[in-house]
Amino acid sequence: MADNRITRDLETRDRTTRKKAWTRPELLPSPTPEPGYDYHWVRVSTQGHVDATNVSSKLREGWEPVKATDHPEIMMVAVEQERFKDNIVIGGLMLCKASKEMVEERNEYYSSQAKAQMNSVDNNLMRENDPRMPLFNERKSRVSFGNGT
């Protein structure tokens, strides 16, 4: 029985590790994080048509195009175009960055806009309310348990 066993010096970690499963590669590579900045891919073209309106609106919002020299790990896979030859452009998307403070302020602005729209919808709905047949507009969920009998 002991003759069929593998000796301890032949047992290695390489033999016992499980083979890694294949995973689909990322379409857009992630840049190396830089403290104080968030990254965002901005559309510069769709199906070969330039989207100058989108690019200019994002630049006015505060997003800055990332230079290809700042991220050499991405520069190797970037497809260069004559318009954005110094920047990282892949598949019609350009990598941009902005300060975390600006991104948080932007998110708070859009969150408050969404809340204001929901309040407007609720007020419009409740304006139609009739005491004889009330509308229920609860946005809260409750969990209740039975009493066990």
What is the DSSP annotation of 18-47? PPPPP-PPPSSPPPPP-TTEEEEEEE-EET
Interatomic CA distance for residues 29 and 74, integer angstroms: 7
pLDDT over 90 (residue 121): no
CB-based contact 65:96 (threshold 8 Å)? yes
**Number of domains composing the chain:** 1
| Most confident listed range (13-17, 25-29, 114-118) | 114-118
Domain range for 56 is 34-99
> What is the pLDDT at residue 81?
57
Interatomic CA distance for residues 29 and 122, integer angstroms: 42
Domain membership flag for residue 89: yes
> What is the pLDDT at residue 23?
80
pLDDT over 80 (residue 26): no
Domain membership flag for residue 120: no
pLDDT in tens, 45-96: 888 788 889 989 999 999 999 888 888 878 655 555 567 778 888 888 889 9
Domain membership flag for residue 68: yes
Domain membership flag for residue 93: yes
